[in-house]
Amino acid sequence: LELKRMSVSKDFRGRGVARALCAEVLSFARARGYGAVVLSTSAVQVAAQRLYESLGFRKVGAFSPSPLGALLAFHIYHYRCELPARQ
């Protein structure tokens, strides 16, 4: 399952909304038998990276979206959260 473009309005950040949304995605995926949830985020979204890592996501790759991005050391990170099979 891919989590794509999750965003929380600046007015509501810091209240646990993103954590709750992400946890719900993980729960949804587990309940439906998905083996993993994947997502991408940019190098500048440090708070998002911390959130995902705290929820069990691991960085599995990175790339620069363009030659200019590579020159500026701008990377997109790929994350993956493995979901154990249900017993």
Structural domain boundaries in the chain: 10-82
Return the pLDDT at 68: 73
Q: For residue 75, how many other CB atoms are within 10 A of its CB?
A: 17
With 90 as the cut, is the pLDDT of residue 72 above it?
no
Of 7, 35, 38, 10, residue with least CA distance to 21: 7
Return the pLDDT at 66: 78
- At 27-66, the pLDDT tens digits run 999 999 999 999 999 999 999 999 999 999 999 998 887 7
Burial of 61 (0-12, 13-18, 19+ CB in 10 A): exposed
Average pLDDT over residues 58-80: 84
Return the pLDDT at 65: 76
Higher-pLDDT residue of 63, 11: 11
Fold of 10-82: Aminopeptidase (3.40.630)
